[in-house]
């Protein structure tokens, strides 16, 4: 289903993000998670690329398998990193031939330790160019782009950052999905600035439940600019073990989701890390059932 049809049919969307497994054990974990999350009737699920496209083929395989073997609407991530325009064109042809109707168009980050992003030979310089290309050559596809409530680490000028986001929307993006955040103030302010900039497409809030103190430290290393509110840090610090830390993280994400729903968010996108437990608990505590989740 095209993403615009999903937004037109439902006041609020709920979606999940997965990443391609790299081992038989992680593949089994993902299989079980998808099996457990499917009854929640997500609006769509997305599948990421690895750093620098290192898991590109795994992504393609997972996307097509989900499309063929489930009733889920799939949104495949596509990045500019390491791919020429002809290569990306071939990927898009494969996706459309296999019934994939939506793409998350991202510039992507260079592999860790390789320095700043450098466009591939005969590749796109940024996501705006990719969006415009998809819109021109594959007009039947829905297109999502990323938003950064706490600011993009490479664009300290927040006014310029909003200009770049507006350019992606003007090039043909159908919706914006934000990076994760733990303080809703950042999202609500970001959404307001989008409105002031003339951005009218749906804006989805990206949430990732912290499931352990270790995962929070890892998240801080990977994201670089994510703000962890002092109340969350204090609560995690009180957790006597990983079980209690997980409960703290789930409770925090649930409170975030409730507040976002009270503020008429168009959708909530859960970064699942290929696990089902946290997202399932949040659904339960929100009082969301599969029959009413998308109404």
CATH number, residue 99: 3.20.20.220
Residue 129: which of 115, 143, 112 has the closest Cα? 143
**Domain housing 129:** 3-286
Q: Coil, helix or strand for 102?
A: strand
Q: What is the pLDDT of residue 293?
A: 45
d(CA 210, CA 274): 13
Any domain includes 295: no
Any domain includes 275: yes
Cβ neighbours for 119, distance < 8 A, ≥ 6 positions apart: 80, 125
Task: Give the pLDDT confidence of 139-171 residue by residue, as tens digits.
Answer: 999 999 999 999 887 777 888 899 999 999 999
d(CA 261, CA 106): 27
Looking at the DSSP bridge assignments, the partners of residue 74 are 45
Q: Coil, helix or strand for 51?
A: helix
Say which of 17, 150, 161, 246 is annotated catalytic.
17
Any domain includes 291: no
Q: What is the pLDDT of residue 181?
A: 95
pTM for the complete prediction? 0.92
Q: What is the pLDDT of residue 110?
A: 65
Dihedral of the alpha carbons of 36, 41, 44, 46, in degrees to the nearest 10? -10
Query: Measured between alpha carbons, how far is residue 290 from residues 37, 201, 294 in Å?
Result: 10, 25, 8
First to last CA, the chain: 16
Q: What is the pLDDT of residue 292?
A: 44
Q: What is the pLDDT of residue 22?
A: 83
Q: Count how many domains the chain has.
A: 1
Any domain includes 138: yes
Give catalytic status of residue 161 as yes or no. no
Q: What is the pLDDT of residue 119?
A: 79
Map tokens 């290192």 to a residue. Answer: 54
Any domain includes 282: yes
Q: What is the pLDDT of residue 205?
A: 98
**pLDDT < 50: residue spans in the chain:** 52-53, 290-295
Any domain includes 294: no
Any domain includes 292: no
Any domain includes 83: yes
């Amino acid at each position: 289903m095209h993403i615009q049809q999903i937004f037109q049919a439902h006041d609020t969307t709920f979606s999940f993000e997965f990443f391609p497994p790299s081992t038989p054990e992680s593949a089994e974990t993902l299989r079980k998670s998808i099996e457990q999350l499917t009854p929640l009737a997500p609006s769509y699920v997305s599948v990421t690329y690895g750093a620098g496209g290192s898991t590109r083929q795994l992504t393609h395989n997972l996307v097509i398998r989900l499309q063929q073997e489930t009733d889920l609407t799939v949104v495949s991530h596509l990045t500019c990193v390491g791919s020429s325009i002809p290569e990306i064109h071939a990927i898009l042809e494969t996706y459309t031939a296999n019934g994939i109707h939506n793409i998350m168009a991202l510039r992507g980050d260079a592999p860790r330790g390789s320095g700043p992003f450098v466009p591939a030979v005969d590749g796109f310089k940024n996501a705006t160019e990719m969006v415009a290309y998809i819109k021109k050559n594959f007009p039947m596809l829905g297109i999502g782009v990323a938003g950064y409530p706490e600011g993009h680490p490479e664009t300290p000028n927040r006014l310029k950052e909003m200009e770049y986001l507006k350019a992606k929307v003007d090039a043909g993006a159908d919706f914006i999905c934000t990076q994760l955040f733990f303080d809703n103030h950042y999202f609500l302010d970001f959404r307001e600035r989008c409105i002031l900039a003339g951005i009218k497409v749906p804006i989805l809030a990206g949430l990732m439940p912290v499931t352990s103190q270790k995962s929070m430290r890892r998240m801080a290393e990977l994201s670089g600019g994510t703000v962890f509110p002092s109340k969350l840090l204090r609560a995690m610090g009180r957790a006597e073990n990983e079980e209690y830390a997980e409960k703290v993280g789930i409770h925090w994400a649930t409170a975030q989701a409730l507040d976002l729903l009270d503020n008429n968010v168009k959708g909530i996108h859960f970064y699942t890390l290929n696990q089902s437990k946290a997202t399932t608990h949040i659904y339960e505590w929100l009082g969301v059932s599969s029959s009413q989740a998308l109404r």
